[in-house]
Chains A and B, each alone.
Chain A
Amino acid sequence: MTAAGSTVRAEGVTVELGGRTVLDAVSLRVEPGELVAVIGPNGAGKSTLLAALAGDVPLQAGSVRLGGLDVASSPPRDLARLRAVMPQDHTIAFPFPVADVVGMARAPWARTPHEDEDDDAVAAALAAAGVTHLADRPMPSLSGGERARVTFARALAQRTGTLLLDEPTASLDIGHQEDVLTESRRLADDGWTVVVVLHDLTLAAAYADRIALLADGRLVAVGEPDEVLTADRVSEVYGHPVVVVPDPLTGAALIVPDRRGRVRR
């Protein structure tokens, strides 16, 4: 995949939904070659931040730029050639087969020279997401985790250089969680820009270059995993005591909830 990432730049982004300020003056800059994980407790505004980066929600204040484009005022087609989005919802209204669903990602490249890559892009994306064997199955017949991987494949097949992933690992087993993040990591190392919303702090610590921690719509901390994921900060933001220990194999941070007095023995 030869696509180059674009710089994603949010400046002072404020979003109100139903009269509530869901994002409050959030600024974040993600460069090509970087994988940035967005973490935070439920309702912190993670998905809204991703939606703002994707241009899905109107901004009360601030701006989002994708490369040279202002996201709010650019035509959908231009944005679709620069970034792919993996949503949390993986349903489809009609029983399209998996290969067709992934092939839909090629729509932005119709009637361009990139059209020639269509078959190649779909095949490579199916393989990268480990869903080649499902290619002929209708999407609604798949399990939740399989559907999530197909949606991941769809985002890859768009070959945009910039990926916005909203909880891509939410319904995946441990092996496929690692697979999805390994692939995202590899793309970032190839020069892609990757922003990924994650719940699993240990996954974020292991794969992200930087972590953006949201709480109550505000950016609490942003930086390298070791700087952001301190036991004190995580305990405070999530309202639950945690300890941070090094992974015995890689040395990356493992975030372990303090379960003393809660579990058997």
Chain B
Amino acid sequence: MLQRTTSVPRTRARPGRVTLATLVLVAVLAVSAVLAAAVGQYPIPTGEVVPGVLRTLHLVPSDPAHLLADRVLTGVRLPRVALAVLVGAALAAAGTLMQAVFANPLADPSVVGVSSGAALGASFGVVSGIATVGTWTTPALAFGTGLATTLAVYLLSRSGGRTEVVTLVLTGIAVNAFAGAGIALMTFLADQQAREQIVFWQLGSVNGALWSEVLVALPVIAVGLAGSATLTRSLDLLALGERPARHLGVDVERLRVVAIVLVALLVGIGVAFTGIVAFVGLVVPHLMRMLIGPAHGPLLLTSTLGGGALVLVADTVARSLVPNADLPLGLLTSLVGGPFFFWLLRRTRRRSGGWA
């Protein structure tokens, strides 16, 4: 009270760092997209990627010498690149939202069982045969069960406006077990072809991505991301706790409902097309928070870009690590994400002096 102030540095989310991080991530995304499009069993020179796209779009005259390469590029590689980026962006954004709503940096769609819940709906679609009705059916089912799971986890794991780490992780175990049993039942009931489909799809992969899938995923994810972007300021306030957020004018009930629906939407669409790609929603927002701070506006932007880049790079590595073998993407993210989650858990525990 006694000291006078002349000027106060206003550190609103370190704008310099945010701009820099955004530019770097956009560059990484662009470079890895070109590399991912070039790498594969039928190699395409990186210099031919952009001309190939232009030729296919008839922006430059087509060239018979490149016909096969251009078909591989635009028919196989690019939809895969697009789907990987979209799903990565969706999962990272969903992780950002979940961590904010649970007020817990360990919340992640795969850890708490939302991904498994969505997978249950999607595998039901495969087994019952109704998934063949149209590309929209599986995402719709995945969204439905994903939403139910998110709500269940949310209601089961909170007390007093916060979610303790133990409660969150244990709820995740319970929900994952329950959804796992459902998926096992679906696998058991399925015929051979559907069974294989479920097993491989559960491993998490963007193999065999189609433009038709990209065209379904794109608008849904765009809506999900746009919706998330409108919540960021309120999510900042929610970090103070529910009551303080309400004291600052946030309609907390409405915010929670909207965020949960958006999480289910983003996870459901991701799971429907690529199966369970775990830990992206945990790792990416966490790294971004370390880089640019916790403000949710910049965090959502950079996590979306970072998630897209991460899944794209992971998928490219997964399909080129072993010659002639397309390793499941989910295998790779879990291989990296598992130890990361453990490290985070230990660190959180050390910091808070217990399992708070």
Contacts and interface: CB of A to CB of B under 8 A. Distances in A.
A42 interface: no
B251 interface: yes
Nearest to B295: A100
Contacts of B337: none
Contact of B8 (A78, A80, A92, A132): A132
B11 A99 contact: yes
B58 interface: no
Contact of A92 (B239, B249, B251): B239
B248 A107 contact: yes
Nearest to A140: B351
Per DSSP, chain B at the interface is: loop
A69 interface: no
B293 A99 contact: no
A99 B293 CA distance: 13
B187 to A, nearest CB: 38
A182 B236 CA distance: 31
Interface in A72-101: 75-81, 83-85, 87, 89, 91-97, 99-101
A75 B13 CA distance: 29
A104 B4 contact: no
Given A94-B105, A124-B5, A130-B1, A77 B294 contact: no
Interface in B222-253: 233, 236-241, 243-244, 246-252
A126 interface: yes
A54 B104 CA distance: 26
A158 B248 CA distance: 8
Contacts of A110: 233
A27 to B, nearest CB: 23
B8 A126 contact: yes
Best-buried of A127, A128, A129, A130 by chain B (most CB within 10 Å)? A127
B309 interface: no
Given A89-B241, A158-B248, A97 B293 contact: yes
Contacts of A243: none
Contacts of B236: 96, 100, 104
B231 to A, nearest CB: 13
Contacts of A124: 5
Contact of B10 (A51, A55, A99): A99
A179 interface: yes
A interface residue count range (under 10 / 10 to 19 / 20 to 34 / 35 or more)? 35 or more
Contacts of B244: 85, 87
A93 B5 contact: no
Interface in B171-204: none
Mostly, the A contact residues are helix
B294 A96 contact: yes
Given A92-B239, A110-B233, A132 B246 contact: no
Contacts of A136: 9, 11
A152 B250 CA distance: 19
A105 interface: yes
B294 A94 contact: yes
B103 interface: yes
B73 to A, nearest CB: 42
B294 A95 contact: yes
Nearest to A107: B248
B247 A54 contact: yes
B8 A99 contact: yes
Given A79-B249, A93-B239, A128-B1, A123 B7 contact: yes
A132 B1 CA distance: 10
B248 A105 contact: yes
A119 B100 CA distance: 26
Nearest to B161: A89
Contacts of B237: 104, 107
A195 B103 CA distance: 29
B249 A132 contact: no
A132 B10 contact: no
Contact of B249 (A56, A81, A101): A81
A100 to B, nearest CB: 6
Interface string A132-171: 1001100000000000000000000010000000000000
Given A80-B249, A107-B233, A110-B233, A94 B239 contact: yes
B162 interface: yes
B324 interface: no
A175 to B, nearest CB: 10
Contacts of A132: 3, 5, 8
Rank and list the top 6 A-B pairs by shortest CB-CB distance, nearest first: A80-B249, A94-B294, A93-B103, A127-B5, A77-B249, A123-B8
Interface of A: 51, 54-56, 75-81, 83-85, 87, 89, 91-97, 99-101, 103-105, 107-108, 110, 119, 122-124, 126-130, 132, 135-136, 158, 179, 182-183
10 contacts: A76-B247, A76-B250, A93-B241, A99-B9, A107-B250, A127-B3, A128-B1, A130-B2, A132-B3, A136-B11
